[in-house]
Amino acid sequence: MNISVDKIIRIYGKRWGIEAFFKICKSNLKLSKECKSLSYDAMTAHTVIVFTRYMMLSVVNLHESDPRAIG
């Protein structure tokens, strides 16, 4: 393999963000525990709701922590 160290670190950094996102969704936002349905549509809807919660909390966090945030 001939990938540069900088590229490996950049790829791992992106992956770490994804891993942290799913950990928060599973642990704090109950991604895997709230929905007991076996229906694909219900599971998809539940996932969308959990991801929407995450986005809303991220926006609130941004507005509270960054004085440059608009609104």
Each residue's pLDDT tens digit, 13-56: 889 989 999 999 999 998 888 888 999 999 999 999 999 999 99
Per-residue pLDDT at 49: 94
Q: Are 63 and 71 in contact, with CB atoms under 8 Å apart? A: yes
pLDDT at residue 70 is higher than 70: no
Distance CA(32)–CA(17), nearest Å, equals: 19
**Of 63, 65, 53, nearest to 26 (Cα)?**
53
* pTM of the model as a whole: 0.72
What confidence category does residue 65 fall into, taking pLDDT thresholds of 50, 70 and 90? confident
Cα distances (angstroms) measured from residue 33 to each of 23, 27, 29, 44, 62: 13, 9, 9, 14, 27
